Amino acid sequence: MMPELIPVLSKEDLEKSVAGIAKRISADYRHRKPILVGVLKGAFVFLSDLIRQLTIPVKIDFIRTASYGDETSSSGTVCLTKGLEIDINGEDVLVVEDIVDSGVTLRWILDYLNGLGPASVRICALVDKRERRQIDVHVDYACHVVQEGFLVGYGLDCAEDFRHLPAVYHLKK
């Protein structure tokens, strides 16, 4: 059966929420130059739109994690497949994630980053998905809060499909 794509966030919704978050981040980090750490691959579209709305200077780096599970849920075992290239010791770090779901990946990322001696670490996520949260991680900047559903588009994938879609959809199988 063909999976069904149900619209959740339109291009306009995304533009508006990203601009709003960029404004908050620019205000909170004024006179500072945070290092934005994008979590590959899902966050690359969000990160690229976000940084062009900021009014503060930033540096950009990426990490990539893998969690072995099925297509739509995390296994609980996270490993790093690409680490940071910039030294974050003494720097303000803002993690840019696509979705926080169970919180397992983010907890792992926070432990990794905190081990490198940053001055501060905050979290920015396109979507804070609350229903399956297992670990209590605080998302400082969330563009959207949703309760449930598997989302694709705007960088988010299902088995590497749908990342290119300009809006976010609920994938109903």
Closest approach of ligand IMP to the CB of residue 124, in Å: 13
Instruction: State the DSSP code for 156.
Output: B
- Here the tokens at position 89 are 């010791």
Least separation in angstroms between residue 122's CB and ligand IMP is: 16
| Residue 34 binding result from ligand IMP, Mg ion, none, given CB thresholds of 5 to 8 Å by partner type | none
Residue 29 or residue 74: which is nearer to ligand IMP going by CB?
74
Query: Residue written as tokens 């588009």?
Result: 153
Task: Decide: helix, strand or coil at residue 112.
Answer: helix
CB of 66 to ligand IMP, least distance (A): 10
Q: 42 or 118: whose CB is closer to Mg ion?
A: 42
3-state secondary structure of 28: helix
Contact partner, 104, from ligand IMP, Mg ion, none, Cβ < 5-8 Å per class: ligand IMP
- Residues lying near ligand IMP in the complex (CB under 6 A) are found at 42, 67, 74, 97-106, 129, 150-152, 156
- Identify which of residues 34 and 42 has a Cβ nearer to Mg ion in the complex: 42
Q: Which of 98, 101, 128, 157 is catalytic?
A: 101
Taking the CB of residue 105, how many other CB atoms lie within 10 A of it? Answer: 21
Binning the chain into helix, strand and coil, the percentages to the nearest 5 are: 20, 35, 45
Dihedral angle sign, alpha carbons of residues 108, 112, 113, 115: positive
The listed partner (ligand IMP, Mg ion, none) that binds 100, CB under 5 to 8 Å by sort, is ligand IMP
Nearer to ligand IMP, 6 or 119 (CB): 6
DSSP string, 43-98: THHHHHHHHTT-SS--EEEEEEEEE-S-SSS--S-EEEEE--SS--TT-EEEEEEE
Cα 143 from chain centroid (whole Å): 10
Active-site residue, 157 included: no
| Residue 47 touches which of Mg ion, ligand IMP, none (Cβ within 5-8 Å per kind) | none
Q: How far apart are the first and last CA of the chain?
A: 8
Q: How far is the CB of 102 from ligand IMP (least distance, A)?
A: 3
The residues carrying an active-site annotation are: 101
